[in-house]
Every structure is written in C-alpha cells, then in structure tokens.
Amino acid sequence: MSDLAISGQGLVKHYGAVVAVDGIDLAVRRGECFGMLGPNGAGKTTTIEMIQGLLRPDAGRIEVLGLTWEKNSRALRQRFGTALQETKLPEKLSVEEALLLVRSFYRRGTTVDEVLQAVELEEKRHAWVGKLSGGQRQRLAVACALVCEPDLLFLDEPTTGLDPQSRRQLWDIIMGFREDGGTILLTTHYMEEAERLCDRVAIVDHGHVIALGSPAELIATLGAEQVVEFALENGGSIPHEELQSLPGVQRVVSADGTTSLTVDRVHQSVPALMRLLESRRETLSELVTHHTTLEDVFLALTGRHLRDE
C-alpha cells in the first residue's frame, strides 16, 4: 500500500477561458494534515473538489487512498468525510436528525452520541439546524464529515467567517482527528490556521503551487526571523537599494503602500531605518515588527498580501 493518501499529478481545470487550476501536483502522506494556503480565487476549492470527485479535471491523474474515481468511486466515497464551502445543512432538521441522515449514507461510522461529543454539540442535539450560530453550524458540518469514521477528511475553508473562539474550537477538533491517525486535506486563506494545524503547506496562487514545505521550512526560506513593516505619511517611498543596504536587512518588499523588511537583527535595523528616514525628512505613519509568518512568505513570493483587505 502506498504511503500517500492523496496523489494528484498535473491537475488542470478551465472554466471557459479562465484557467482555475494550471498544473497542480499534490502528494499528501497518510496521517498528515496538509494545507493549501492561498488567496481567494487561487484555485484551492477547484483542486479540492477535483480530488473529491465532484469536478472532473481537464487533465491530470488523481489517486485517493490508492483508488481512482474512474474505477472505485463508490468504494472511495465510503472512506472520506467532507465539509464543503458554504453548504447549508437542512435547516428544518434537528442536529441529531441531520446527523442520522448523513450517517445513513455510509456503511460504517460512529454513533450520533460519539460525534456530538467530539464536536461539543450535545446540548444542541434537539435544536433545529437553522437556529444554530455560525460556529455551531460549522462544527455540525465537521460532525457530518466525521460521522462516517473517515480515513480522510476534506475541509474547504473550515473556519472562514468565524469568531476567534469558534475557530480555536474547530482547530481542536481537527487536531484531535489528526492525533487519532486521520489524514486531512484543508484549504484556507488564514496563514495562522495553516501554521497551527498543518504538517505541510502548499502555497497556491493563480492555479499553481508556488511553494511547498512545513510552515517552519517555508518561513526559513526568507532567511531571517523578524519582519519590520512601515508606511510613510503622504504615501511616500524610499528606494529599495537604500533599504537593502541597512544593517541586518535580508529582503525588501512593498505592497499596498506598506514596505516590509525581513531582518535578522531588529536591534540594528530599526535604529538605522530611523536615521535614514530622518535624513530624508520622511515621517512614519505606521511601524510594526513581528516574527516572520507564512503571510510574509506569500508576500515575498508574489509581492501581494494574502489577506482580502
């Protein structure tokens, strides 16, 4: 048996003239949590839906748990759970009824009690799905994915639009599944989510994988651990060569009016930056320093921010 839970090679998908996925390769190992990180419209959802057999790729090969969609689609559907983006579960059913409905599609699985306990929705057992909060609905969606005791879990933007507390609750559920030996493929545009949950991350942009590795490896590619971000009043800017020559600065990127410097010695770089600004008679409107994140990796690779705003 192959040690890959998912293998996708050369996946391509067009929508009319638009190329949504332009030759993506993915190899997800058994027992790992693999994340596809990228902005909206990068092709993450199209990719995860092709792997789930919901979309037929225009080109490429997909193998899931050693099976293919062409030959083993029924057997395959028995073995994974999924929470798609923006799915509304039946609003007039109670939480318990909705879970029994989904459970009935599968040959094996857990009891409703077990899965309700896992997602901490026992108290809402008899509440109508339509009356749940956003976080509770999303936990129910994950419960519907877990009720078949899957080997593999697909989560498309599992925490989009949720408050921080609900998000952390979902992360615990996902990590629990991973600790029990399950494999997860998730998409997200939150770098924090990818860093917290994923063993490995593929950064996706414009239908391509532009970087692949563990979060730590990806951050290490920037060659420095700190980021200094600043913006000038009146939208002014400073030539990159001058910034590059400051002590400790490894890399300079500007986007959306802010400039970020990847630095390995903040204590030297920041005073030097201040002196440079003073000599050029520029005034700061913003100055932030933080540890390097996947967001900075994305910025360094694409010159754009990952966030929507």
Partner 1 sequence: MNRLARSSLWQLSLWRFREFAREPEAMFWVFAFPLLLALALGLAFKSRGVEVVQVAVVDGPGAAEITEVLDAGERIDALLLPGDSASHRLRTGRVALVVHPGDPLALQFDSTRSESEVARLVVENALQEAAGRRDVREIRDQPVTEPGSRYIDFLLPGLLGLNIMGTGMWSVAFGIVKSRQDKLLKRFLASPMRKSEYMLSYILARLAFLALEVAALVLFGYWVFDVPMRGSIFALGAIALTGAMAFSGLGLLVASRVKTIEGVSGLMNLVMVPMWIGSGVFFAYSKFPDFMQPFLRALPLTALNDALRAVMLDGAGFVATLGFLGVIALWGLASFGAAVKIFRWQ
Give the footprint of partner 1 on this chain (CB under 8 A): 52-54, 74, 77-78, 80, 82, 84-90, 92-93, 97, 100-107, 111, 144, 148, 154
Angle, alpha carbons 70-76-77 (nearest 5°):
110
Question: Residue 96 or 264: which CB sits closer to partner 1?
Answer: 96
Q: Quick check: helix, strand or coil at residue 222?
A: coil
Question: Residue 91 or 242: which CB sits closer to partner 1?
Answer: 91
Question: Residue 64 or 211: which CB sits closer to partner 1?
Answer: 64
Four-residue CA torsion sign, 159, 164, 169, 175: positive
Question: Residue 101 or 277: which CB sits closer to partner 1?
Answer: 101
As measured in angstroms, the least distance from the Cβ of 122 to partner 1 is 17
As measured in angstroms, the least distance from the Cβ of 59 to partner 1 is 21
Four-residue CA torsion sign, 212, 218, 220, 221: positive
As measured in angstroms, the least distance from the Cβ of 265 to partner 1 is 50
Structure tokens at 85: 């983006």
As measured in angstroms, the least distance from the Cβ of 32 to partner 1 is 21
Please name the residues in contact with 33: beta carbons below 8 A apart, sequence gap of 6 or more. 174, 175, 178, 183, 184, 186, 197, 198, 199
**260, HSE (Cβ side, Cα atoms, 13 Å):** 24
As measured in angstroms, the least distance from the Cβ of 50 to partner 1 is 12
Selection from 166, 155, 157 nearest residue 132 by Cα = 166
Question: Residue 101 or 272: which CB sits closer to partner 1?
Answer: 101
Question: Residue 64 or 162: which CB sits closer to partner 1?
Answer: 64
**112, HSE (Cβ side, Cα atoms, 13 Å):** 16
As measured in angstroms, the least distance from the Cβ of 98 to partner 1 is 8
As measured in angstroms, the least distance from the Cβ of 101 to partner 1 is 5
How many H helices and E strands in the chain?
Answer: 11, 13
Question: Residue 148 or 246: which CB sits closer to partner 1?
Answer: 148
Phi, psi angles (nearest 5°) of residue 267: -65, -20
